Amino acid sequence: MMGSGFSGLWTLFRAELRGPFAPLSLAVVIAIALGGVAVLAPLLIARLVDGVVAHAITLPLIALIAAGFLTCALADAGLVLLRHRLIVRAQVGLRRRIAPLLFASILRLPLSRLRSDGHAGAIRAFDDLDDVIDMVARTMPDLMTSAILTLSYTLLIVVIDIRLAAVALVTLALALLTSTQLARLTRSGFAGWLVERDRRFSLIVESVTSLLTIKSLSAHRPIHERFTSHQQAEGGSLRVLRERLGAADAVNRAWIAVAPGVVGCVGAWLAMQGQISAGELVLFLMVSGSLAGPVGDICVHWEVAQRSLASLDRVSVVLVGPEFEDIDGGADSPVRLNQGLSLADVTYRHGDGAPALKSVTLAIKAGDHVAIAGPSGGGKTTLAHLIARLVDINDGAMHVGPRDASDVPLGHYRRRVLVVPHVVDIFSASIEDNIRLWDDAFPASAVTKAVSLAQLTDVIGGLPDGMATCLTSSGEPLSAGQRQRIGIARAMLREPDILILDEATSSLDAETERAVISNVCRAMAGRTLLVITHRSELASTFPRLLRITDGEVQDEETQRRGMSGTF
């Protein structure tokens, strides 16, 4: 029932969460005690009824039974309170430990996975995780408590009268069976609904982050219609789900409602025959009536568990899926990768499409500065991502010096080989944090130098809060070109062995671009620099030009060969 995702997640829970499971075990012990307390009240009532029938009732007996009830009620309330506290502790503990693991997993997912699944799935994984934690910490103990109460009441009615017990148990078993079977159907309904919910969520996020485009193109109406159609699709899947849940609930309640009638009639007949006393009949009716409560709860908890299991299927793919990158590998490695780069017969396809790079063979010597140009869609960014190992090559080989690039630990490789994209991701944080990316290992002087190389000193100096200025996630108050220079400063701070600028200065005016590129060339003297550009003036300032057209690379010498470093 619970699939391989469950076993993987369960192993993780067990390995990581010994602490939070301790309160859960206690909650189970309390559930057993609650089962014991629950049967005491009907026993006391039966004692009272039998006393009345036998004319043996006395005031001390009434007082004793009243005191017994009070004790039961206090014990029950105390145990329930304690159980809730333990469950909340377990829930909070599980969330505290598993959510960071999930976040770490998401950061380790290959880019191709995130692209193909869409970002909403990864973001929503945290909601899915909350569902799963609720199931482990709340639904399961609740289910167990209901099962223990059911068992206690069942034992009691079997002891009172086995014939009546058989009648009651058959009706309740039928209720359980049909409702749990129907509830299982709701799991696929939940899965369908979760997909539609994510689609709607993605549209909301994309629309909010693209407000400028929507406003400037007056596209609000069609976008709104798109939302309405997503909403309708989600409503449709929610309706299917609710109908299934409704059917399960109706059948469950019908069985539970019919059970006391059947038991009452058979019991009255047995009492008429003198086979059971009035007290026993009252006790039986009370206990079998109480039995309906936990049985109904089992059905409800089972339905809730179906939703959590649908969430579990999704979160286990992200949390314990097979594809993760070892981005911590070689964290302290001093090995430099400035030993030349070569690609032999390299082919790369995005998904199942046509190859974006076709049998590319090229060699770049250590310390070379090379321009890369070519028509849009030719494969320049793909080559950059491949060299930076943001994607894995399908065929062929890539070497850094004598070593196969894939033999270098990925984390170390990515720290030494950097790409600056033309759209720079900005975090809602200070400029300094955006450049450091919260890495305190860089000295302040290195940050100042990186800022200066990116021609940002005056820009930041002109802001009232300087480096402490907080940016929004869309980069305000910086201009597009200033944001690009934040990307350059990030790279300069990290002093890579191989740096690829992927149209990283495309938003700058010609003069500032010249100054930034000149600084970068100087800083990268003796290290490898690849500059992707659509500007022929910029490309012509490099001693070597690679032209990429339709996935094929042509190596062109520029007329200005020999000008490296004199940009």
Ligand X SMILES: Nc1ncnc2c1ncn2[C@@H]1O[C@H](COP(=O)(O)OP(=O)(O)OP(=O)(O)O)[C@@H](O)[C@H]1O
Q: Locate 312 and state its tokens.
A: 């579990």
Q: Could you say which of 108, 350, 494, 514 contacts ligand X (CB under 6 A)?
A: 350
Residue nearest to ligand X (CB): 350
CB-nearer residue toward ligand X: 276 or 532: 532
Whole-angstrom distance, CA of residue 350 vs CA of residue 425: 22
Residue 351 is a binding residue for ligand X (CB under 6 A): yes
Which of 312/373 has CB closer to ligand X?
373
Phi-psi region of 547 (alpha: psi -120 to 50; beta: other; left: phi over 0): beta
- Build a one-symbol-per-residue string for 356-385: x at contacts with ligand X by CB under 6 A, - elsewhere: x-----------------x-xxxxxxx---
Residues 6+ apart with CB under 8 A from 56: 50
Q: Is 158 in contact with 206 (CB distance < 8 Å)?
A: no
- Angle between helix axes 162-209 and 220-272 (nearest 10 degrees) is 170
Residue pair 420/487 in contact by the 8 Å Cβ criterion: yes
| Stretch of 132-140, 240-248, 348-356, 431-439 contacting ligand X, by CB under 6 A | 348-356
* Minimum gap (Å) between residue 112 Cβ and ligand X: 8
DSSP 15-61: HH-HHHHHHHHHHHHHHHHHHHHHHHHHHHHHHHHHHHHTT---HHH
Based on CB atoms, which residue is closest to ligand X, 47 or 349?
349
Instruction: Between 351 and 462, name the residue whose CB sits nearer to ligand X.
Output: 351
Of 156-164, 264-272, 337-345, 349-357: span binding ligand X (CB under 6 A): 349-357
CB of 374 vs ligand X, minimal distance in Å: 6
How many residues can be counted in the chain?
A: 567
Q: Nearest distance from residue 476's CB to ligand X, in Å?
A: 25
x-or-dash string of contact with ligand X, 378-417, rule CB under 6 A = xxxxx-----------------------------------
Q: Give the span between the Cα atoms of 297 and 295, in whole angstroms.
A: 5
Residues facing 341 on adjacent strands: 364, 400
Q: Minimum distance between the CB of residue 546 and ligand X, rounded to whole angstroms?
A: 11
Distance of alpha carbon 190 from alpha carbon 243, whole angstroms? 12
Q: How far is the CB of 212 from ligand X (least distance, A)?
A: 21
Nearest approach in angstroms of CB 532 to ligand X is 7
Piece of 96-104, 233-241, 350-358, 476-484 that binds ligand X (CB under 6 A) = 350-358
SS3 369: strand
Q: Which of 15, 4, 9, 1 is nearest to 320 (CA)?
A: 9
Closest-CA residue to 204 (of 229, 223, 232, 176): 223
For the segment 80-139, give every residue that binds ligand X (CB under 6 A).
Answer: 115
Nearer to ligand X, 115 or 224 (CB): 115
Q: How far is the CB of 343 from ligand X (least distance, A)?
A: 15
Our CB check for ligand X shows the closer of 314 and 380 to be: 380
Structure-token pair, residue 70: 């009070």
Unique residue bearing structure tokens 């159907």: 185
- Tokens (6 digits) for 514: 């010249």
The residues, ordered by sequence, that sit 6+ positions from 200 with a Cβ below 8 Å of its Cβ are: 227, 230, 231, 234
Token pair 């014990």: residue = 75
Nearer to ligand X, 3 or 377 (CB): 377
Q: In whole angstroms, how close is the CB of 407 to ligand X at the nearest point?
A: 25
Q: What are phi and psi of 110, to 5 degrees?
A: -60, 150
Residues in the interface with ligand X (CB under 6 A) total: 13
Q: Least CB distance from residue 378 to ligand X, whole Å?
A: 4
Of 351 and 562, which has the nearer Cβ to ligand X?
A: 351
Query: Rule CB under 6 A: which residues touch ligand X?
Result: 115, 350-351, 353, 356, 374, 376-382
